[in-house]
Amino acid sequence: NAGVMQNPRHLVRRRGQEARLRCSPMKGHSHVYWYRQLPEEGLKFMVYLQKENIIDESGMPKERFSAEFPKEGPSILRIQQVVRGDSAAYFCASSPRLGALGGSSYNEQFFGPGTRLTVL
């Protein structure tokens, strides 16, 4: 019973290199979210994707960052030309669906173990 999987768990890059973070959602989940967490800070939303679609990327920096969730394969968060400020934990979460319950909405998200990115 696989939960949300992320790899690599730890990634070290030098300034200017590219970082690729992968996320495989739970089986049956079609919604993927990426978050960034800096030390002593909360989770900051980056991007929300469904298969082959970016639904909301309002939290994504305009430059160097991109995300995709292809029809086949994992979701990928790509950071080009990394800088030291990109060092953080990047979490992926998945959910099965959007829904309404009793007139309200709910959206349970299940988190992967995260990728700790260190930029030297």
Partner 1 sequence: QKEVEQNSGPLSVPEGAIASLNCTYSDRGSQSFFWYRQYSGKSPELIMFIYSNGDKEDGRFTAQLNKASQYVSLLIRDSQPSDSATYLCAVIQASGGSYIPTFGRGTSLIVHP
Task: Quote the least distance from Cβ 20 to partner 1, whole Å.
Answer: 19
Could you tell me the sign of the dihedral formed by the alpha carbons of 57, 109, 52, 78, in that order? positive
CB atoms within 10 A of CB 66: 15
> How many angstroms separate the Cα of 91 from the Cα of each of 33, 35, 99, 101, 102?
8, 5, 23, 27, 30
Task: Quote the least distance from Cβ 78 to partner 1, whole Å.
Answer: 21
Nearer to partner 1, 80 or 107 (CB): 107
> How many angstroms separate the Cα of 58 from the Cα of each of 40, 47, 62, 89?
22, 7, 9, 19
Nearer to partner 1, 28 or 42 (CB): 42
Task: Quote the least distance from Cβ 80 to partner 1, whole Å.
Answer: 24
Nearer to partner 1, 1 or 58 (CB): 58
Residues engaged in binding partner 1 (CB under 8 A): 33, 35, 40-45, 48, 56, 58-59, 91, 98, 101-102, 104-114
Task: Quote the least distance from Cβ 16 to partner 1, whole Å.
Answer: 28
Q: Which amino acid is at 80?
A: Q
